Structure 1
């Protein structure tokens, strides 16, 4: 069940980061991030009251710390997506987001079955292959203004932001899955509340708070927030039920969804190594699920 939850979480987050990246190409990334955070906070708070759970101090603290890390990570992620090709930046962030839970899982003594380790071993190169830059889709996005198309320089900046964001995402998942099941999803509410406040503070300090306006970019960010929040709930439950090593690596395969959507919607071409990476990702999921 934990693997199935992680797969569903991965798919939802892949759609969420596609919407978030599309939003960040239309509006300022910080505004996009804030809108996403608030939408997720509303969904999570409502769900927390409906499903119940105890307000446990240590779990709320872990959530708050994860939220602080997540706020910076999401901004970096959206910034990276706004600079580089979506089919490159998103997978790169997944590489580092997978490594953190794996290292922590090994450190705390988790010992998956040999076949599961084989799945983990295939998942990491799968993400690398998907993220490997050949001919990006930047030149294929003819529907975007010239100044918004990814260039080699902007791709490098986007990849750097994606790497840093990925490390933060990995830390976020690790912290949240260390909370107790008795607290329900309240740690996620704590995380999202802190992230929203920090992002709001950054917007107030830079004057961006006065530049929020309705439009397609904002709507995309709100949709991303709802899907991201749902993904967080699923990965939280998966981490509580299963091994962090396995849940973390399956969750990191979300770029498969992002890349496929980028191919269909933005006409970003899939290279042969990306197709191979997608195939390896499927095999990895099957092996981990055995």
Structure 2
């Protein structure tokens, strides 16, 4: 029961974090927003450690760090495959693979067993994951082999995050999540710095090429829309958007860290299979917030997925 409650709640909170992250990425870059979110999440978890508690051990620190690396790979591949498209196919593919990998691990390696209603609930939940994650697109084309491979790889890596976190001990509390967020932040800020260096080199080459100090603004995925060449001041009009993007990214990180904690509690309260498949319902939180805040329309297929998700959660709660 607690596993279903924690995991489904965590999924909805994850969806809220994705919603905030999406708003942040419209004002700054997705890469920078992800880095800031990871850092703010790590800070929150460090502050919460004395309240929640957790023992430090080499085993739990190692698995926490591994989960951070694997999680970074999953998110990077997710953004890459969604950029290729079509999202209507690749998004639910990623979500369902991220659920199947831990389910197979839990059943085959972990020896998890359920009543008949539990297996029906898992199957229904996987269908719900596909429907909830479906993004209707007009004129969507067939996905390329590259896009499919990236989507499967992203799902497998996200599923690997669940498996890695499941290896940690109950006594560790939220210590593995601190390592997860810390490693994530370090990798993302390193990526931002690398993109900034590349952008600076290209800008200098461009100025040399034209032969005069025109100083055109240069932006890149790690710098945000307000990025400028070295030595230039940011335009005053761009500063409010940058500040708003940073605030949204910080909020995203705080919400994301909360979701991670809920999913961790869900995994430790019961079976990895149930926690993972319900955790994959995270698009539900995003589409609900988009409907409430941005007045976006929820497609009928997504409504069906939401209904099936609640039914599956009820079945898994009593499994």
Same fold per superposition (TM over 0.5)? yes
Give the whole-Å Cα distance in 2 for the aligned partners of 1:158 and 1:40. Answer: 30
TM-superposed deviation, 1:172: 0.7
Q: 2:195 aligns with which of 206, 211, 215?
A: 206
Are residue 226 (structure 1) and residue 239 (structure 2) matched? no
Are residue 260 (structure 1) and residue 262 (structure 2) matched? no
TM-superposed deviation, 1:85: 8.9
Q: 1:129 aligns with which of 128, 131, 139?
A: 131
User: Structure 1 length as normaliser, TM-score?
Assistant: 0.84
Of the structure 1 ranges 21-30 and 191-200, higher mean CA displacement relative to structure 2 is found in 21-30
Partner of 1:171: 160
SS in 1 for 2:27: coil
Partner of 2:118: 116
Bigger radius of gyration: 2
Partner of 1:52: 53
User: Structure 2 length as normaliser, TM-score?
Assistant: 0.77
Structure 1 residues 67-119: Cα deviation after superposition (integer angstroms, max 9, x where no partner): 01112323444566678798876544321211111011012211022111111
On the 8 A contact 1:21/1:78 being kept in 2, the answer is: no
**For the structure 1 residues 81 and 46, does the alpha-carbon distance in structure 2 shift closer, same or farther, using more than 3 Å as the test?**
farther
SS in 2 for 1:25: helix
Q: CA RMSD in A?
A: 2.9
Partner of 2:184: 195
Partner of 1:144: none
Give the whole-Å Cα distance in 1 for the aligned partners of 2:86 and 2:295. Answer: 11
TM-superposed deviation, 1:17: 1.0
On the 8 A contact 2:88/2:134 being kept in 1, the answer is: no
Matches within 5 A, 1:23-172: 23-77=24-78, 91-107=92-108, 108-135=110-137, 152=140, 163-172=152-161
Are residue 289 (structure 1) and residue 317 (structure 2) matched? yes
TM-superposed deviation, 1:132: 3.5
Give the whole-Å Cα distance in 1 for the aligned partners of 2:47 and 2:178. Answer: 9
Partner of 2:299: 271
Give the unaligned 5+ runs of structure 2.
Answer: 197-221, 229-238
**For the structure 1 residues 93 and 224, does the alpha-carbon distance in structure 2 shift closer, same or farther, using more than 3 Å as the test?**
farther
Give the whole-Å Cα distance in 2 for the aligned partners of 1:158 and 1:216. Answer: 32
